[in-house]
Amino acid sequence: MNKKILAGLCLWSVSSVAIPVLAADSDPQQCLECHEPIEDWAGMTPEQIIEAARAPDNKRHEANMALTDEQLRLIIGVLIPPK
Ligand code: HEC
Q: Which atom of ligand 1 is nearest to the CA of 79?
A: 35
| 52 CA to centre of ligand 1 in angstroms | 7
Instruction: Report the distance separating Cα 65 and Cα 67, nearest Å.
Output: 5
Identity of the residue numbered 7: A
Q: What is the pLDDT along the chain (83 residues), one digit of tens a residue?
A: 566 555 555 445 555 555 445 445 778 999 999 999 999 999 999 999 999 999 989 999 999 999 999 999 999 999 998 76
Mutate-to-test residue for ligand 1 from 35, 39, 65, highest number of ligand atoms within 8 A of CB: 35
Q: End-to-end CA distance of the chain: give it in Å, rounded.
A: 33
